Amino acid sequence: MAKLVIVESPSKINSVKKYLGSGYNVMASKGHIRDLPKSKLGVDIQNNFKLQYINMPDKKDVIKSLKDAAAESEQVLLATDPDREGEAISWHLAHILGLDLNEENRICFNEISESGVKAGIKNPHKIDIDLVDAQQARRVIDRIVGYKLSPFLWRKVKSGLSAGRVQTVALRLIVDREREVLAFKSEEYWTVEAKLLSSRKTFTAKLYGNANGEKLPVISEEKAANDIVAAIADAEFRVSDIKKGTRNKHPSPPFTTSTLQQEASRKLGFTGQRTMRIAQQLYEGIDIAGYGTTGLITYMRTDSLRISEEARTAANNFIMGKYGEKYLPSKPRYFKSKSSAQDAHEAIRPTNVDFEPEKIKASLTAEQYKLYKLIWERFLASLMAACVQNTVSTDIIAGDYMFKASGYSVKFDGFTVLYEEGKDEESADSVTIPDTLKIGDVLKLKSLVPNQHFTQPPARYTEPTLIKALDENGIGRPSTYAPILTNILQRNYIEREKKTLKPTQLGMVVSDLMIEYFKQIFEVKFTAGLETKLDKIGNGDLDWIDTVNDFYKDFDALYKKAEESLDGKRVKVPTVETDVVCEKCGRKMVVKSGRFGKFLACPGYPECKNTKPMPEDEVKQ
C-alpha cells in the first residue's frame, strides 16, 4: 500500500511525485474543503464562538476521492501550504478523513525541490493546534465584522457595500492621505543655480548660504532671488573647500512577500494580485526543459529574512565562479527580520541558483521570467559585496554667498553589477564634479539662474507605498494585501489615477461612517495590536476564545450605539455634477460608477432614467 500525500494545489502534484517516487500517491485538496456557510453568520456567539463548519458543496467530488484514497493507503500525510491557513486546511482534512490529531501526519515543504520535499517527508509532526486556533480566531473576528457591518452599510448608505477589519483600515489610510492633499496650501520658493566651467567641464552648484557657511532662510519671492543674482553676477566664483571620501552602498535584503509586491509594482508594473499569482506558479513548479516539473522559488508567503546555510553556500559559490572573489563581502551578510516576523520560512529565494533566468527563459512565460529574474537577481545581490563610491563635495564662494555641489563616482560596482532596488521617489540628481578641481581655483560662470518652485502636497499612495505602509504598521498579513486592494477597487471605494490611489466620494463616505461609529476597531494601532494577538495565539501564548470575546464585547457595544444613533437615517453620497446637460429633461448630468466603470446619469432618476458614456476626455484622466 502506498502512502497518500495531500497537497493544496493540483499543480504541485507532478513536482512532489517526481521527488517522492513510487511509494507515494499525491493528491490535492484544491484549497479549503470545509468553511462557514455563506447564508448565515455560522458562529455561535453564545456558545464560546463555536464555528458551524460545513463541507463546501463544490468540493463534494474532491472529498469523496480523498476519502476513497485514504481508505486504501498505508498512511495519510498532510502537506498543505506551510502557513496559518495551510495548517487549518490540514486540520479540516484530518477531521473529514478521520485522522488522529495526536499522530505525526503533518509535513511542510518550504520549497518544491528535491531537498525541500525530502526534508519535509523526513520531518513529520503533529498538526499545530495553536496555529489552527489563530486562524479560527482571525476567521471569527473577520466574519463578525463583515457579517455585521456590511448589512449596516447596505441600510445606511447603499446596497452592495462591504466593510472588513483590515480592508477598512487600508481605505482609511488612503482617505486620510487624500484629506492631507486637499488641505495642503502650496507655497512659493526660489533657488539659485550657477553653471560653472572648470577644465573644459561644466557642472552645477546651488546657492546654500552666506560666505561664512551659514544657511540662508528660504527665498520666498522672485525679487529676493533676483537681488542675489544681481549682487553676484560679476563676482569671482572661487573654490573654498573640497571634501573627498568614500562610502559603501549595501544591497537590499532578499524578498519578503511585502517587498516582492512593492518591487514588482515599481519595476514590472505588476499589481500585488498578479505578483502573487505568478509567484505561486514558480513555487508550485514549472516544467523546465531537461529537468521536468521543478519548483523554482521557496514559499512566497513569508516575512522572514532568514536564508538557509545550504542556499548561502550555493550562492557564494555561484558568485565566486561568475564574478570572482572580490564580489563576495569580507564577512557573510546576515539580515535581521523584524520582531513580528513569522520565522517558519526563509526569505523568498530561488531553489537552485544554477537555474539562471536566461538559461530557463524558454520554459517560462514572459511574466514568469520577469518575476523569477527579479527574485533571482535580488537574492544573489543580497549576498554580494557592497558598491564602493568615491564622494566629493565642494564649497564655492561668490561675493557674500556660498554655493555647494556634491557628487559621486563608482569606485567598485559590487552588487550593482547585477541589481539595484527601485525607488518610490526620485532622489536629487548627483553632480559630476571635475577630478582636477582644487581649492583656490577660480571658475568661469556660464549662467546664473533663479528658479521658481512650489512646495508639493504629500504624495498620494501608490500600490507599492500602500503595501509598505500596511507592512510597516503591522496591518494584516502580507499575503492579504493583494486581495484587500482588489476588493476596495472593485467596491469603487478607491480608483486609480495614473499610478496613484484616490478615494471616491463613496469611499470617503464609507470610511468616515466607519471611523465615526467604530473608530476604536479601525484604528491603525488597534488593528496592528490584534494582529500581534493572533500571532501570540499561534505561538500558544494566548487563548483564542478569550481574545475573540474581548474583541466582541467592544465591537457589540459600538454596533448597538451606531444602530441607535442612525435609526431611520441614511447617509447620502455626494454626487459629482458635470456640465453635460440631459437632453431629455434639461438637468445637469452626474457621474456614477458601475461594474464597467464610470458613466453619466441623470439626477432626475427615477422620473428620468437617461444615461450615457463618460466623455472621452474625462475617461482618459
Which residue numbers are catalytic? 299
Alpha helices (H) in 233-306, listed in sequence order? 257-268, 272-284
Write b or e for each residue in 582-606: b if 16 or more Cβ atoms lie within 10 A of its Cβ, otherwise e.
Answer: beeeeeebbbbeeeeebebbbeeee
Residue 14 carries which DSSP code?
H
Interhelix angle 505-518/129-156, rounded to 10 degrees, is 110
State the DSSP H helix or E strand holding residue 24, giving kind and residue range, or none if neither: strand 24-28
- Is the N-terminal amide bond of 606 cis, ω within 30° of 0? yes
Using CA atoms of 327, 332, 336, 342 in order, give the dihedral in degrees to the nearest 10.
100
Residue 474 carries which DSSP code?
T
Separation between Cα atoms, residue 28 and residue 488, nearest integer Å = 31
Separation between Cα atoms, residue 64 and residue 33, nearest integer Å = 11
Residue 12 carries which DSSP code?
G
Separation between Cα atoms, residue 374 and residue 371, nearest integer Å = 5
HEC string of 36-93 equals CCCCCCCEECCCCCEECCEECHHHHHHHHHHHHHHHCCCCEEECCCCCHHHHHHHHHH
Give the chain's length: 621
Contact 37, 67 (CB under 8 A): no
Radius of gyration of the chain (CA): 30
Separation between Cα atoms, residue 345 and residue 306, nearest integer Å = 8
Interhelix angle 129-156/544-565, rounded to 10 degrees, is 0
Separation between Cα atoms, residue 49 and residue 545, nearest integer Å = 7
Q: What contacts 62, CB < 8 A, 6 or more positions away? A: 28, 29, 30, 33
Residue 341 carries which DSSP code?
-
HEC string of 385-440 equals CCEEEEEEEEEEEECCEEEEEEEEEEEECHHHHCCCCCCCCCCCCCCCCCCCCCCC
